[in-house]
Amino acid sequence: MSPIALLSRILEYAEGGHKRACALLLLLGLALYLPGQTTLQPMDRDEPRFAQATKQMLETGDFIDIRFQEEARHKKPVGIYWLQSVAVSAGEALGVDDARRNVALYRIPSLAGALATMLLTYAAACAFVSRRGAFMAAVLMGSTILLGVEARLAKTDAVLAATVVGSMAALARAWFRRDGDPPLPTVWRIAFWVALGFGILVKGPIAPAIVGLAALWLSIARRSGRWLQALGPGLGAVIVALIVLPWFAAIAIKSGAAFFEASLGDDMLAKVGQSKERHGAPPGTYLGVFFGTAWPLVPFFLLSLPFVWTKRRDPAVLFCIAWVVPMWLIFEAVRTKLPHYVMPLYPALAILAALAVERGAAIHRGRAAGILVWWLALPPVILAGAAFFGALHLGDAPPWIGVPVLLLALPAGVMAARLLRQGQAEQAALASACASIVIAFGAYLFTAPALRSLHVSERLAEAARSVGCPDPVLASAGYSEPSLVLLTQTDIEMTDGRGAAEILAGSGCRIVFVERRHVEAFERAVSAAGLTPRLVTRITGFNINGGRRLDIAVLSREGAR
C-alpha cells in the first residue's frame, strides 16, 4: 500500500465514528508528545519554578500557599500545582525513584493538557464541519510546534489551552442553536462552566477573557445576547464558584491581599504597560512568531484567508473570528509577549482551515499556494541545521543521530506539500503530522540529550551526589537557576563568592558551587579563614538564559566524606 493510500485509509477509519477518531488522535498525540518527557532537562526558568513550588507543597503539606524557596509565588492560581502534586504523589506511590526531583512527573499535567487540547479541538470542530473535517482540524492543531513544546514543560499553558477549547466547544453549540431547537444538552452546559472554572484556577482571568470577548463580539454581531441563556448562567455561576472560591478564600485568609496584589497588579497589569522579565516586543510580534510556532498549520490557514474574508459573516466563520481577533489584538497591544500566550487561539485557525476545505475553497491554487505549501518541507532542514551548528557553537559534539533523524522528516514534509498542492488537504495534514512525529523524536529524544553543555544543573546535582554526603549543606555562587533548586534541595543557598566561603566553613558536610566570576572573592575568603576546600570537579557549560558560557567549580569541605 502506498503512503498516500495509507493516509486515505486512516481518514476513512476516522470517519467511522467519534470513538475511532478520538482513538487515532490519542495515538497520534502520544507519538507527538511522549518523546523528550524524560530526556529533556528542566527548562529554566519557568518550568522548574512551577515544579519546585509543587515540590515544596509536598514537603510542607501546605497546599494553599505557593512558594519558591522562601519567596511567595503569588503570580498564578493554584490549579497547576495541585495537578502536579497529584502526578508526583502517584509516582511516589508507584515506586518511582526520587520522584520529587523527577521533572517528567511534573510534566504529566501538561502532557494530558496537550492531549486534551487536540481531542477538544476535534469536539469543537464537530460543531462546524463533518467528522473528517474535525479530524483534520485536530491533527493540524495537535501537530503544531508550540503545543508540542508546551506538552513537555511543567507549567500552565497546555492545561489552559484545553480549558479554553473546552469552553469554546460548548459556546459553539449555544451559538448554532436557533429558536425552536431542543435545549442545549446538559453535558455541554456543565462542560462550559467546568472548563471555565478550571481555566480560572489554572491561570486566572485569561480563559474568561478569551471566552467573554468572543461571546461579546458574537452578541454584538447578532444584536442580542439572549443566545447565551442556553448555557444556563445561573447554574454556571454556582459551578464556577464551587471550583474557584474555596482556594481564593483560603489564600485571601492566609496572605491577606498579597496574592491579589501580586497576581493582578505586579504580574498581569504590569505586563500591559511594560515588558516583564525582558520579554517586551512591539505590536505585530505574534504574527511573525506564528510562522514558526504554528507549523504545520501555517500554510493551511494562510491559504484559507480568502475564503475567511469572503465568508466573514457566515455564522461558523464569524464564531472563529470572534474567538481569535479580539484577544489577539489585546495580546499584540500588551508590552510583555511570549509565544505561548496566543496558543489558545490556534484551534480556531485550524477549524477555519478545515472549514475552507470542506466548503470547497480552492486553497491549493494560485501563485501564493505554490510558494506557501513548501513551507511544510522547510522546518526539518532548518532544525537539522540549527542542531548541527548549535552544537558546534556550544562546544558539544554534533548530534550525529539527531540530525539524520530530523532530516528523515523531510520526505513526509515534501509529500505533505505535494498533497496540499494537489488539493488533498486532509491527507496533507496527516502527512505533516507524520513529519512532526519524526521531528519530535529527532529533536527531543536524540538531539536535546546530546547537547550536554546545556545540562548544567543536572551535572552539578550529579557532582554533589558523588561526594557521598547523605544530607549536605549546599550553596551556589554565581549560578542560581531554579533547576538547580529542583534537582538538589529546597534550602540550597544562592550567594556570592564570599558567602560560599562562609557556608563552607560551617560544621557538617558542606558542598559549594562557585562560578568563575566569583572564584577570586571565594579564594580570598577561604584563605583568610584558613580553609582548604577539596575540588570535586569542574562543570563547564552554557546558560541559555544569560547567553554566556559557564565554568563552575564544585568544592567540598576537607574531610567531608
pLDDT digits (tens, 9 = 90+) for 120-137: 999 999 999 999 999 999
Q: What is the pLDDT, as a whole number, of residue 179?
A: 77
For residues 169 and 69, membership in a common domain is answered with yes
- Does residue 552 belong to any structural domain of this protein? yes
Cα–Cα–Cα angle for 412, 294, 329, rounded to 5 degrees:
160
Cell numbers linked to 464: 554533589
Q: What is the pLDDT, as a whole number, of residue 560?
A: 44
| pLDDT tops 60 at residue 94 | yes
Range name among 80-94, 275-289, 370-384, 459-473 with the lowest pLDDT average: 275-289
For residues 61 and 136, membership in a common domain is answered with yes
Q: What is the DSSP string of 43-104?
A: -TTHHHHHHHHHHHHHHH---SS-EETTEE--SS-SHHHHHHHHHHHHHHHTT-TTGGG-HH
- Does residue 385 belong to any structural domain of this protein? yes
For the chain, give the percent of residues with pLDDT over 70. Answer: 95
Q: What is the pLDDT, as a whole number, of residue 360?
A: 87
Number of domains in the chain: 3
Range name among 224-233, 268-277, 545-554 with the lowest pLDDT average: 268-277
CA 197 to CA 215: how far, in whole Å?
16
- Does residue 286 belong to any structural domain of this protein? no
Look at residues 425, 452, 479 and tell me which one is the last residue of a structural domain.
Answer: 452
Q: What is the pLDDT, as a whole number, of residue 415?
A: 93
For residues 432 and 474, membership in a common domain is answered with no
| pLDDT tops 80 at residue 174 | yes
- Does residue 54 belong to any structural domain of this protein? yes
Which residues have a Cβ under 8 Å from the Cβ of 19 and sit 6 or more positions away?
A: none
For residues 447 and 465, membership in a common domain is answered with no
Domain of 406?
A: 367-452
At 279, the pLDDT band (50, 70, 90 cuts) reads: low
Look at residues 299, 321, 353 and tell me which one is the last residue of a structural domain.
Answer: 353
CA 344 to CA 195: how far, in whole Å?
13
- Does residue 12 belong to any structural domain of this protein? no
Q: What is the pLDDT, as a whole number, of residue 340?
A: 94
For residues 459 and 437, membership in a common domain is answered with no
Q: How many CA atoms lie within 13 A of 230 on its CB side?
A: 23
For residues 372 and 509, membership in a common domain is answered with no
For residues 430 and 495, membership in a common domain is answered with no
What are 71's strand-pairing partners?
68
- Does residue 70 belong to any structural domain of this protein? yes
For residues 153 and 192, membership in a common domain is answered with yes
Please answer whether residues 461 and 486 qualify as being in contact, where contact means their C-beta atoms are separated by less than 8 angstroms: no
For residues 439 and 505, membership in a common domain is answered with no
> Mind listing the pLDDT tens digit for each residue in 469-484?
888 999 999 999 999 9
Q: What is the pLDDT, as a whole number, of residue 160?
A: 98
Please answer whether residues 531 and 505 qualify as being in contact, where contact means their C-beta atoms are separated by less than 8 angstroms: yes
For residues 163 and 98, membership in a common domain is answered with yes
CATH classification at residue 502 = 3.40.50
Q: Which amino acid type is present at position 159?
A: V
Q: What is the pLDDT, as a whole number, of residue 561?
A: 42
Q: What is the pLDDT, as a whole number, of residue 467?
A: 93
For residues 487 and 381, membership in a common domain is answered with no
| pLDDT tops 60 at residue 297 | yes
Mean of per-residue pLDDT scores for the chain: 92
- Does residue 412 belong to any structural domain of this protein? yes
CA 87 to CA 68: how far, in whole Å?
19
- Does residue 60 belong to any structural domain of this protein? yes
Q: What is the pLDDT, as a whole number, of residue 268?
A: 55
